[in-house]
Amino acid sequence: MATFDHSKLKMTTSPLKLSRPVKIIIAVAVGMLMFGTISIASRFREPPGFAWIGFLLLAVYYVIFEIIIKAQTYLFNRIKTKNESVRLFLVFIGSVLIGTSVYFVLFYIFKWIDHWSYGSETPMIGHMAMSVLMGLTISVIFTLVQMAVNWKNDHYQSNLENEQFQQEIAKANLAILKNQLDPHFMFNSFNTLYYLIDENSEMAKDFLKNISTIYRYILQNNDKSLIAVSEEHNLAKQYLAIMQQRYYNFLLVEDSIDAEDLQQKSVPPLVLQQLIENAIKHNRIDEGSPLNISFEVENNYIIVSNNVNLKRPEVTDQTGLSNIKKRYQYLTERPVVIAESQQQFTVSLPLINTADHE
């Protein structure tokens, strides 16, 4: 069964917002770790103390943390590559280099302040070499912390998106099922079946078989995110066969789809039926105003068109179309294309590669 495409969510480009107190706590914790390390293995004449100048250094650590967060956001938005591992590696290296460079500059300024305030050594090569090592260390720590936060946020967002997607599927299937159980639909179907039994028993059997197939299809696929477009296409033809027996020759179908165009392609379940129902619901179908529905495949899209002859001027909320768009947003970056004029209404649905979602 096809599942939700988590690859679309990879690493968030907008990292999870840590509260200022949490960032301060993390910066202080890392700062204390660095203070301890320097105190134990200091190459300077004086180990670091905890006077106000020490708090200034902790402020430097906090600034580095903030800069690394912003650097990650910038790099995630700017680095474009299909290989997510390469992208993460480049973001990691970039964040560490930016953090280390900024720390080098800030530590140089800090060392001069320390010299002027307490008479400590002026910045020397040894100090600056150690600042590079310290900057590299805290930058790696802060970068890993932020990436871990991003990963957690990504995991949560993926679950949230997946839940929303499942809800959209449920809404779509429920809406279609309600349409099939609509009293008018049931009455017209039974009425058509009643006359067919007397007039043509074979057509009555086909009519009943098509209705049964549609209900079975809905029940079997009510929790799937994707279905083979060939199955969806066959269901659409069966549904149209039912409608044609109801509307006689006033419902015309033009189907130029080649079976080869549908191989290894998928669509969300019941989208074609939704489009057919919309066309039948909103347009007149009689001898003077026949409804023409056409199907074709072009540029990896399945295109459904119908002529426009509205039953009455009306403003619709386009709930069905909105639902289809939302379902596609979770599956592909290619949009559902809607073209509308006074004479024609066309919806182009992206065909999704089945192998990409297995």
pLDDT score at 352: 93
Third-level CATH fold of 181-357: Heat Shock Protein 90 (3.30.565)
Q: What are phi and psi of 92, to 5 degrees?
A: -60, -50
pLDDT score at 14: 42
Residues of the chain with CATH 3.30.565.10: 181-357
Residue whose C-alpha is closest to residue 122's, from 114, 130, 132: 114
pLDDT score at 292: 95
pLDDT score at 13: 41
Residue 329 CB contacts under 8 Å (≥ 6 apart), including other chains = none
Segment-wise mean pLDDT, segments of 10 residues, the chain, 358 residues: 40 51 69 60 49 72 86 84 81 88 87 79 79 82 82 69 66 58 60 73 79 74 80 88 83 91 88 87 88 94 94 65 82 91 94 80
Torsion angle, alpha carbons of 23, 26, 30, 33, to 10: 150
pLDDT score at 173: 59
